Structure 1
Amino acid sequence: MGSDFYLQSILPYAGIIIKICRAYTNNQENFEDYYQEVCLQIWRSRNNFNQESDWSTWIYRIALNVCLTQLKRRKKGDKQLVSDVLPEEVIDDSKVFVSDEINQLYNAIKHLSEIDRAVILLYLEEKSYAEIADIIGTNSNNIGVRIKRIKSRLSNYIQQKECSDD
């Protein structure tokens, strides 16, 4: 991968890639693998970008697809039971974000299903319902309802977590 391509076409979107990879990994090693794979896939598919959407939308789509594919591969290879609930000892993003509230939110996001994680991450990036639907490949009519439900689940999770910590 050329350094010019990386500097001009990937690095400005590193924040997006980092957030998505963080939401789908539980440790630094997996995060680094996912991040590297996302960058590689962006570079490999750069000639397929047809400018029907923004470059950032393209980045999101690739990052989500790579993370979901990697997650499926790891689950298959590990032959573990699939669960949306991760053991608490695995989740430690306390040094990722400056704010405790943001850390709390992203830890709660890890407890959502794979698709709901994608939806809420895109919502937090202030993507429109149409953009979210385009990126995850669904109809934009149900995105608003889905986001409302996700917010409710996140709120409930955070409240339960706070009550159990007291």
Structure 2
Amino acid sequence: MDDKEDRNDLVQEIVLQLWKSFERFEGNSQFSTWMYRVSLNTALTYFKKEKKKTDRYTFLDNVDKLDESDTNEKETQLDLFYKAIHELNKVEKALIFLFLEGQNHKEISRNLGISEVNARVKLNRTKEKLQNIIKTYGYEF
């Protein structure tokens, strides 16, 4: 989440969902893997709700609000990256975030319940899609 308050809200929601679903933990996987899956699914649901709220604003409106004297190039790049991520579907978002966390294809496939080959292909396609979205904002790599 971009905003500290939103991050805190998301953390609270994740803790609540972990608490609610603890009775359903069957022990078929490691506890940490189960926690990760619940947290990831909660975050994806939260992002979906947030996207509906932020769809009212366009990317250009947000760029106009940036004070150039306070923003360096890396902050601009990061802002563009997160705005582009908001345009991805929930599976694509999960792939990118798992990749950014340093997970390999095997770990990603296990966490998303897809084959390793499928994870690799989807991740490559999602990276390309993300690059194209960022290019539509007028930013070249």
Deviations 1:1-35 (A, max 9, x none): xxxxxxxxxxxxxxxxxxxxx2xxx8666544332
Matched to 1:50, the amino acid is: G
What is aligned with 1:158? 134
Q: What whole-Å deviation, never above 9, does each CA across 1:47-85 have from its counterpart, x for those lacking one?
A: 627373472x3333112211334466x49xxxx7xx8xx
Structure 1 residues 70 and 156: CA distance shift in structure 2, 3 A: closer
Q: Which of the numbers 39, 53, 58 marks the counterpart of 1:87?
A: 58
Q: Which residue of 2 aligns with 1:50?
A: 27
> Residue 134 in 1 paired to residue 134 in 2?
no
Higher normalized helix content (fraction of residues): 2
Q: Per-residue deviation at 1:154?
A: 1.1
* Partners of 1:52 and 1:163 in 2: CA distance: 42
* Residues 27 and 90 in structure 1, CA contact (< 8 A), matched pair in contact too: no
Paired AA for residue 34 in structure 1: L
3-state DSSP of counterpart to 1:138: coil
| Residue 99, structure 1, aligned to residue 74, structure 2 | yes
Alpha carbons of 1:145 and 1:137: their partners in 2 closer, same or farther (altered >3 Å)?
A: same
User: Unaligned regions of 5+ residues in structure 1, if any?
Assistant: 1-21, 93-97
Runs of 4 or more above 4 Å deviation: 26-31, 44-47, 89-92
Task: Supply the AA of the counterpart residue of 1:112.
Answer: L
Larger mean CA deviation between 29-38 and 113-122 belongs to 29-38
Shift of 1:135: 1.6
Within 1, Cα distance between the matches of 2:106 and 2:44? 21
State the alpha-carbon separation in 2 of the partners of residues 90 and 32 from structure 1. 22
Instruction: Give the alignment of 1:71-82 within 5 angstroms.
Output: 74=49
**AA at the equivalent of 1:52:** S
Identity %: 29
Q: Could you report, residue by residue, the CA deviation over 1:107-127 in whole angstroms, capped at 9, with x for unpaired residues? A: 211111111000111011111
Instruction: Count the aligned residue pairs.
Output: 128
Look up the equivalent residue of 2:29 and give its one-letter code: E
Task: Compute the RMSD of aligned alpha carbons.
Answer: 3.7
TM-score, scaled to structure 2? 0.66
Kept in 2, the 8 Å contact 1:105–1:158? The answer is yes
Note the C-alpha offset of 1:42. 2.6
